Amino acid sequence: MLGGTHSNPVEYTIKNDGFFPDILISDFQELKRVKADLAPELVKRKLVSAIFRVNGSLAAFKTEQVEAGNATLDAVTQAIIDEGTDEEEKELLFYYKGAIFNFAMGELHPELVSLFKRKEATDFMESIDKNRQEYYNESRESVLRILGTNKTRSNSGIFSSVV
pLDDT band at residue 51 under the 50/70/90 scheme: very high
User: What is the rounded distance in angstroms from the CA atom of residue 64 to the CA atom of residue 62?
Assistant: 5
pLDDT in tens, 122-158: 666 666 666 778 888 989 999 999 998 755 444 444 4
| pTM value surpassing 0.85 | no
Mean per-residue pLDDT, 36-65: 92
pLDDT in tens, 10-32: 788 999 999 999 999 999 988 88
Instruction: Quote the mean pLDDT of the chain.
Output: 82
On the CB side of 105, how many CA atoms lie within 13 Å of its CA? 29
